[in-house]
Structure 1
Amino acid sequence: MKRNFEADGMTVDPLVPETGSQSASTTPSPAARAAEVAATVARAAIDQADYAMRNWTDPVEGPVRAGSPEHLRMFCNMLLQTHNPYKPAVIDWPKLSPEALERVTSLPIWDIAVQTEGRASIRVHSFARLQRDPLLRSALEMDGDEEARHKVVLAKLVEAYGIQLEPEPEYLPPSDIEWGWLVTGYSECIDSFAAFGLFAAAKDSGYFPAELVETFEPVIQEEGRHILFFVNWVAWYRASLPWWRRPAFAFKVFRVWLFLIRERIGLARQIEVDEHGGAQDANFPMNAAETLADSLTPGSMIDLCLVENDRRMAGYDARLLRPTTVPKLARFARRFVK
């Protein structure tokens, strides 16, 4: 993510070379040399954090059984150790051409996107407070903090480009905290799968300028980390339950999927589902798809989502479980569309 850094009292953009009035033969001043070194160090730090966010392998070798303490330790450490410490307040949003600015500001997603992240953050933090295991609680708190940071990133983006938002609602904890966590996790599994393909389509088509794509890229990858963490938590939690509690949990997950299907059908019919906020969550990829993917056939869009999903998951320890439900549904649907 493109950011500015403080060095010797100066703000240095690590992607922009130092310029000045001196000629190439003039010896740079100590301050100029220090700024150049600071910019190089900053660029290296950005690259290292970005690589660490996308690539992680647990140093402990051997098989890992779902539901085991080793499994819990692994997926929690994956999230904690791949955290990218970028700060939204110092993101250097690129200047856009009038055409690019019109494309960005005309997207009908910004209110929905900001509110989605606000709801996700409160739901994840609420679930984190219920956890007794300190490592799991820390990982969930990190997850919730990153969701809150996504909201700040989006707020800074709309501020930078003069996008007007509707007043935000009050974000309240859900009455059923586990239900809120499950709805958030499975919603992200659906929405992130679609977002991976849409983001790639926007990048490859030039719909978004390359500088804006680079700036926003870490947010998309963080969502990949979140769903990887979530599906491993589900597998761990299900396996760690006593046998007599597993049917109730399975039924709750089934109800969550029915809820998500119903809200997406409601959106397709322009029906507002209910007050829990799920319908607006789902609207993000649907609106984006309509705007960004007009030149792609449904089949090619599904193919792109599958490729991008695999690419974004490829750098993490192969022993961690991958999201399977949405990719399986996408492959099934692909048989019937061109």
Structure 2
Amino acid sequence: MSELYAAPPRHDGAANPDARRGGVTAATVAAANSAEDAVERATAVADTVARTAIEQADRAMRHWTDPTPGPVRIGSPQHLRMFSNMLLQTHNPYKPAVIEWPKLSPDALARVTSLPIWDIAVQTEGRASIRVKTFAETVTDPLLRSALDMDGGEEARHKVVLSKLVEAYGIPLAPEPDYPPPDDPEWGWLVTGYSECIDSFFAFGLFAMAKRSGYFPAELVETFEPVIQEEGRHILFFVNWAAWYRRNLPWWRRPLFALKVARVWAFLIWERIGIARGIDADGVAQDANFTMNGSEALGDSLSPGAMIDLCLAENDRRMAGYDERLLRPETVPRLARFARRFVK
């Protein structure tokens, strides 16, 4: 055996019978190492491809311009095609069932689970989905119908995302109520659209504040970000639909539609100033006004003026990537700018 260890190393298994008797040749080891390297390289490539696909889908969701040049008349067939295609072509195909929710530290988990929003958030998305889908069934234009179906499907997906989140972090929810279709499909669609215009404006600011303050871990912020941007797409689609629809109504129906819109706003303002509060199955009040006054709950007590400034900046940022010829939500930002004059 001393001669075996004294002999120079051989790399040829055929010329080295002792290596063959050992059962593992240098060539076998090299091949195994090469196979492991190949697997690692393939995994790295797959990860890179997946990240690239996610980044491309995320960018496509935030940036869209219609290729047809020139001005667009509000209410025209081109306007309809533009805002419908905006929603359809910026769809992000993420799947809630495969979202990897990040593991949270005990402190972060306590902060997330203590927020008084999860019941009302899940129920809001459930109601929104059925309302949009019900209205879509009344629409005959195939392109607009497809866009509304997409909108309703995304609202349903938001509900699934929220359900998966509360499941992942053990957040208890009250039993969900039924979500019956509205008797007046147009009323349900208007309530959903204008409600999202209000809630999204303040949610943009609250989300940015939670990210800045570290209230939500960065990984959770990144995971939930597509849902927030989708709401921006929804309100952009809605305000353009409302303008298009109003322009195409017969003149004698426009006052009635304006009255219905005024009633919707009155209903939503009544709800959000805290006069209307829902009570869940355990007797816990669910505040529909959380998106307006939730800064203290998120650990960053901004002044009212600073909160309005942040919401305005975030609203502009999230709308900036879409075709400039599309109308932007104006009512809530205009009211916020007016209120800003009187607060510090």
Q: Please report the TM-score for the alignment, with normalisation by the length of structure 1.
A: 0.88
The aligned residue for residue 150 of structure 2 is: 142
* Counterpart among 282, 294, 313 of residue 307 in structure 1: 313
* Counterpart among 327, 332, 340 of residue 334 in structure 1: 340
* Counterpart among 44, 48, 59 of residue 52 in structure 2: 44
Structure 1 CA distance for aligned equivalents of residues 179 and 286 of structure 2: 14
Amino acid at match of 1:78: M
Amino acid at match of 2:343: V
Structure 2 CA distance for aligned equivalents of residues 127 and 272 of structure 1: 25
Structure 2 CA distance for aligned equivalents of residues 107 and 262 of structure 1: 23
Q: 1:271 to 1:212 in 2, by over 3 A?
A: closer
Asked if 1:192 is matched to 2:200, the reply is yes
Q: Assess if the C-alpha contact under 8 Å between 2:75 and 2:243 holds in 1.
A: yes
Alignment of 1:1-338 (within 5 A): 28-265=36-273, 268-269=274-275, 271-272=277-278, 282-286=288-292, 288-292=294-298, 294-338=300-344
C-alpha deviation, 1:30, in angstroms? 2.0
C-alpha deviation, 1:78, in angstroms? 0.1
Give the match's secondary structure for 1:292: coil
Q: Assess if the C-alpha contact under 8 Å between 1:127 and 1:178 holds in 2.
A: yes
After alignment, is 247-256 or 221-230 more displaced?
Answer: 247-256
Structure 2 CA distance for aligned equivalents of residues 293 and 260 of structure 1: 27
Amino acid at match of 1:288: G
C-alpha deviation, 1:295, in angstroms? 1.8
Spell out structure 1 runs of 4+ moving beyond 3 A: 25-28, 269-273, 279-284, 286-290
1:33-74 Cα shifts (integer Å, max 9, x gaps): 211111110000000000000000000111101110000000
What fraction of aligned residue pairs are identical, expressed as a percent?
79
Q: 1:151 to 1:272 in 2, by over 3 A?
A: closer
Q: Assess if the C-alpha contact under 8 Å between 2:213 and 2:300 holds in 1.
A: no
Amino acid at match of 2:78: E
1:263-295 Cα shifts (integer Å, max 9, x gaps): 123xx256459xxxxx96834414633412652
1:229-279 Cα shifts (integer Å, max 9, x gaps): 0000000000011111111111110111111111123xx256459xxxxx9
C-alpha deviation, 1:31, in angstroms? 1.9
C-alpha deviation, 1:330, in angstroms? 0.2
Q: Assess if the C-alpha contact under 8 Å between 1:113 and 1:284 holds in 2.
A: no
RMSD: 1.8
Give the match's secondary structure for 1:258: helix
Amino acid at match of 2:336: A
Structure 2 CA distance for aligned equivalents of residues 152 and 189 of structure 1: 21
Structure 2 CA distance for aligned equivalents of residues 281 and 320 of structure 1: 33
Q: Assess if the C-alpha contact under 8 Å between 2:278 and 2:287 holds in 1.
A: no
Structure 1 CA distance for aligned equivalents of residues 287 and 147 of structure 2: 23
1:95-116 Cα shifts (integer Å, max 9, x gaps): 1111100000000100110000
Structure 2 CA distance for aligned equivalents of residues 81 and 271 of structure 1: 37
* Uncovered stretches (5+) of structure 1, i.e. residues with no partner: 1-24, 274-278
Q: Assess if the C-alpha contact under 8 Å between 1:191 and 1:282 holds in 2.
A: no
Give the match's secondary structure for 1:244: coil
* Uncovered stretches (5+) of structure 2, i.e. residues with no partner: 1-32, 280-284
User: Aligned residues, how many?
Assistant: 307
Q: Please report the TM-score for the alignment, with normalisation by the length of structure 2.
A: 0.86
Q: Assess if the C-alpha contact under 8 Å between 2:120 and 2:286 holds in 1.
A: yes
Amino acid at match of 2:331: T
1:76-107 Cα shifts (integer Å, max 9, x gaps): 00000000000000101001111100000000
Give the match's secondary structure for 1:291: coil
Structure 1 CA distance for aligned equivalents of residues 159 and 277 of structure 2: 25
